A and B are shown apart, each in its own frame.
Chain A
Amino acid sequence: MSDIQLPERLEGVEPVRSIRTFASLTYQYTPGRAASRFLKEVERKRLVGQRCPVCKKVYVPPRGSCPTDGVATEEEVELGHTGTIVSFCVVNVPFMANLMEIPYVGALIQLDGSDIPIMHLIQEVPYDEVHMGMRVEAVWVPDGEISHTLESIKYFRPNGEPDAPYDSYKENA
């Protein structure tokens, strides 16, 4: 690069190394039948998974089929709004500036009655008291703000129950 002869007026001018440009994208999302059912139920403040007819595992959010058995999951199962922390991470990195006060906890939560954990936030507890096996409950946004998205659950918080035994969730830990 150094052998390029610059015109006199550009000599001594700091070269441009890169420029930053902004892009914005809006997507149309088609969830399909199983996820549509799930999101419609979320709108009614209900969490509904689907059970595999072969392995009997309950998936949430349901995708309409079992990835292990490759069969449709038709049977719907209403789940509690409580669950167990299977594992977690204390986040000290300011990812979404101003949205979250750090440190905060992201956890894999296995909802009661389901067989696969979902990722969500843990709040209303000091971050250094969060632990595997902790029992938690969903805190929903105000009724008027509930819509067809899992963001309708603001976060999970401890519900005061004794810890779940390791054996009860270790399959997903």
Chain B
Amino acid sequence: MMGSERVAIVGTGQTKHQATNDGSIAGVVRQAAERALEDAQMSWADIDAVVIGKAPDFFEGVMMPELYLADALGAVGKPMFRVHTAGSVGGSTAIVAQDLVAAGIHERVLTVAFEKQSESEAMWALSVSMPFQPPMHAGAGGYFAPHIRSYIRRTGAPDHIGILVALKDRLNALKNPYAHLHEHEITFDSVKESMMLWDPIRYSETCPSSDGACALVITNEKGGDAAASDGRPPAWVKGTALRSEPTMFAGRDQVNPRGGQECAWDVYKQAGIAHPRDEIDCVEMYVPFSWFEPMWLENLHFAGVGEGWKMVESGATQLDGDLPVNMSGGVLSSNPIGASGMLRFAEAAMQVRGQAGEHQVDGVRTALGHAYGGGSQFFAMWIVGAEKP
């Protein structure tokens, strides 16, 4: 539930996401943080505490990187807090930062999330073998492909739905200078003809491996009001929610996980939203494989069960549709894993602040940022709005 203090996002920053960023991890996180501070018109001295998140330490092989990053993030002598919730971590990190402000513990918190996949051994880190697990050797796509197949079986969705989502997100990315993939030549047919990596997931329906970081400056009501009166409208936090569920239990619905459904109703209730499709202007959701867009449209109650793919097919989630989804190009166009959730949250804030440049949706008052992680088991969401709650 919301704390007693109102919370505002007054600065966002990110790096240009790319396959290999020549900067060190410290350099990458600092660049995102400096951009967020600049956007907030603050300096390092203005920050009371730093909250940082990333995927498992195993990825880059740097144990507790927050310790060595304290210098780069201006956190020496200040409280610093590390968050880890698998792929959803960027979202839950932002929520922990906002909680510190909502609780009245700090006035101004810098929050940062990152990944350097070029330095990572993610595939190895995720497949440490245990004697009770059979050998699988198929990576994240091999884990999620059977869930997508189940979704298609349940709903009778036609094959081209995944292609439409991939094409939309990659075209949106062309409007986002920070996106990793800028595929100017992409077409429906080029996605369709790309290699079937993990049937039913094609190469062009899969996220890239990226280096990148994202940062937010989060303040209390006083800070939000100050920014607003200076002509820099903040994004006000209207609700935040986290949920998790076990990776495995009998009868677990991995296509439409209960944790995600309940997380969504919780965040909508806090924001006073009864009809999400009508009351939310745009959504930035965590879609690492194209088919997750129709699946999450149902999980997040924008479409009835079995109807998500029809919403995609109708064009409703296009940049000019009635519920634009993944205006930034999404995870399908940039995936610095630890930062990916925070990028979704940042895009939601940028949209309500009218700061999204070429991928700005007109007149956004309310936006949802969504992240998930693990085996579709960790969920983080926030609703931000242009009006003070």
The interface of chain A, by Cβ under 8 A from chain B, is 1, 17-18, 23, 27, 29, 31, 35, 38-39, 55, 57-59, 61, 66-68, 86-93, 95-96, 99-100, 103, 106-108, 115-116, 118-121, 132, 148-151, 153, 166, 171-173
CB within 8 Å for A106 and B130 given contacts A119-B136, A132-B149, A172-B250:
no
Q: Check B199 against A89 for contact (C-beta < 8 Å).
A: yes
Report the bound CA distance from A77 to B131 in whole Å: 20
Q: Which 4 residue pairs spanning A and B have beta carbons closest together?
A: A89-B145, A90-B199, A87-B146, A57-B250
**Which of B119, B131, B195 has a CB less than 8 Å from the CB of A92?**
B195
B134: which of A100, A119, A148 is its contact (CB, 8 Å)?
A: A119
Kindly state whether residue B184 has any CB partner on chain A within 8 Å. Answer: no
Q: Which residue of B lies closest to A21 (CB)?
A: B61
Counting residue pairs across A and B whose Cβ atoms lie within 8 Å, the total is: 119
The answer to whether the Cβ of B141 comes within 8 Å of any Cβ in the partner chain is yes
Most chain B Cβ neighbours within 10 Å, of A92, A96, A100, A150: A92
With a 10 A CB-CB cut-off, give which of A87, A88, A120 has the most chain B CB atoms.
A87
B147 shortest CB reach to chain A, Å: 7
Tell me which of B20, B133, B145, B250 has the highest count of chain A C-beta atoms within 10 A of its own C-beta. Answer: B250
| A81 CB, nearest partner CB in chain B, Å | 14
Q: How far is the CB of A4 from chain B (nearest CB, A)?
A: 13
B251 touches A171 (CB 8 A): yes
* B270 contacts chain A at the CB level, 8 A cutoff: no
Interface centre among B119, B137, B141, B196 (most CB of A within 10 A): B137
Structural contact, B198 and A121, CB atoms closer than 8 A: no
Q: B310: shortest Cβ distance to chain A, in Å?
A: 21
For A107, list chain B residues within 8 Å (CB). Answer: 146
- A87-B149, A96-B137, A148-B131 known; 10 other A-B pairs, CB under 8 Å? A35-B132, A55-B250, A89-B149, A91-B198, A91-B199, A93-B141, A116-B250, A121-B135, A150-B132, A173-B154
Report if B187 contacts A (CB, 8 A). no
Determine whether the beta carbon of B149 is less than 8 Å from that of A93. Answer: no
Interface size on B, residues (CB 8 A): 38
B residues 131-176 in Cβ contact with A at 8 Å: 131-139, 141-142, 145-147, 149-150, 153-154
Task: State which of A61, A67, A92, A93 has its C-beta within 8 Å of the C-beta of B249.
Answer: A67
| Contact in complex: B134, A153 (CB < 8 Å) | yes
Give every chain A residue within 8 A of B249 (Cβ-Cβ). 66-68, 116
Residues of chain B at the chain A interface (Cβ within 8 Å): 20, 22, 61, 118-119, 123, 128, 130-139, 141-142, 145-147, 149-150, 153-154, 195-199, 201, 246, 248-252
- A66, B248: Cα distance in complex, Å: 10
Contacting residue for B153 out of A1, A92, A132, CB 8 A: A132
Residues of B within 8 A of A39 (CB): 131-132
Question: Which residues of chain A are near B22, meaning CB under 8 Å?
Answer: 1, 17
- Chain A: which residue is nearest B121 at the CB level? A23
Q: How far is the CA of A73 from the CA of B130 in the complex (A)?
A: 21
CB distance from A137 to the nearest CB of B (A): 15
Contact residues in B for A29 (Cβ distance below 8 Å): 130-131
User: In this complex, what residue of B is CB-closest to A27?
Assistant: B128
Tell which of B118, B137, B149 touches A88, judged by Cβ atoms closer than 8 Å: B149
A18 to B131, CA, bound (A): 34
**C-alpha spacing A100/B139, complex, angstroms:** 14
- Which residues of B have CB within 8 Å of A58? 250
A38 to B153, CA, bound (A): 33
Can you report 28 residue pairs joining A to B where beta carbons are below 8 Å apart? A29-B131, A39-B131, A39-B132, A67-B246, A67-B249, A87-B153, A89-B145, A89-B146, A90-B196, A90-B199, A92-B195, A92-B197, A93-B197, A96-B137, A106-B146, A108-B146, A116-B248, A116-B249, A119-B133, A119-B134, A119-B136, A120-B134, A121-B135, A132-B149, A150-B133, A150-B134, A153-B134, A171-B251
